[in-house]
Amino acid sequence: MKVSVIVAAYNIEDYIQRCLESISFQTLKDIEIIVVNDGSVDSTLEIINNIANGDKRVKIINKENKGLIEARKSGLKIASGEYILFVDGDDWIEKETLELLYENAVKNQSDIVMYNYYVSGEKSKIEESVLNEKLTNNDYLENLFLNKIKPTIWSKFIRLKFIKENNIELPSDISFAEDLATVATFFMNNPKVSILNKYLYNYCIRGTSLTNSINKNVLELNKAFNFIKEKLIEKRLYSYYKESFYY
């Protein structure tokens, strides 16, 4: 199995079919599609089941609602592909995404491939780079802390063996900035990284999405920061990265 795509889905009946069809119709066929229904109460699960009936590569995890990061972790536990890609259930990917990412990863023997994406609204599609500015060194953790790299987990194509061999622990009980905490944890383990300068993912902008809502989750930023700090201390990296971390 070349790629495991892990899709988290919660009450997105208007979006999940587009997402899953964009994965099912990929030019790379040797994939598994792990869909985690995170306690949806609309018709999301029904739509997922209908798609799974027509595509045996789709595996469904149906669980009670515990949030995005726990849904991703549930999918990661059963993933069997060489590489994994996290996709949010209201987003979608371009037709050659998995083939291009896998080819780049194999060619460069990468643990992580970073790539560009579109910010897609109802009437617009804007190109966004995974890099906020040109990198002057290969210290990806420092570059992440200095805001030179977008922290989005879905713009990273990750070798599953890299996660398992380094016993990488994803954060828990975080519902805001969980991507930053997760990506920082990956970069702490000195991955071999390559960058593919192609736009392959569509990040959907919608009025009800978490990042477009003002809510109490903003107050949970400290949970993400504390998780990162604890991991830095655990790996004896805190003194080295202290300045960029506080930045």
- In the beta sheet, which residues pair with residue 3? 31, 83
Average pLDDT along the chain:
94
To 10 degrees, the CA torsion angle through 54, 105, 113, 26? -20
Q: Which residue has the higher pLDDT, 77 or 218?
A: 77
pLDDT tier, 122 (very low <50, low <70, confident <90, very high otherwise)? confident
Residue 167, pLDDT above cutoff 50:
yes
Average pLDDT over residues 69-80: 96
- Is pLDDT at 211 greater than 80 in this prediction? no
* pTM of this structure: 0.93
Mean pLDDT of 179-204: 97
How many of the other CB atoms lie within 10 Å of CB of 209?
A: 14
Tens of pLDDT, residue by residue over 38-58, are 999 999 999 999 999 999 999
Residue 210's pLDDT band, with cuts at 50, 70 and 90, is very low
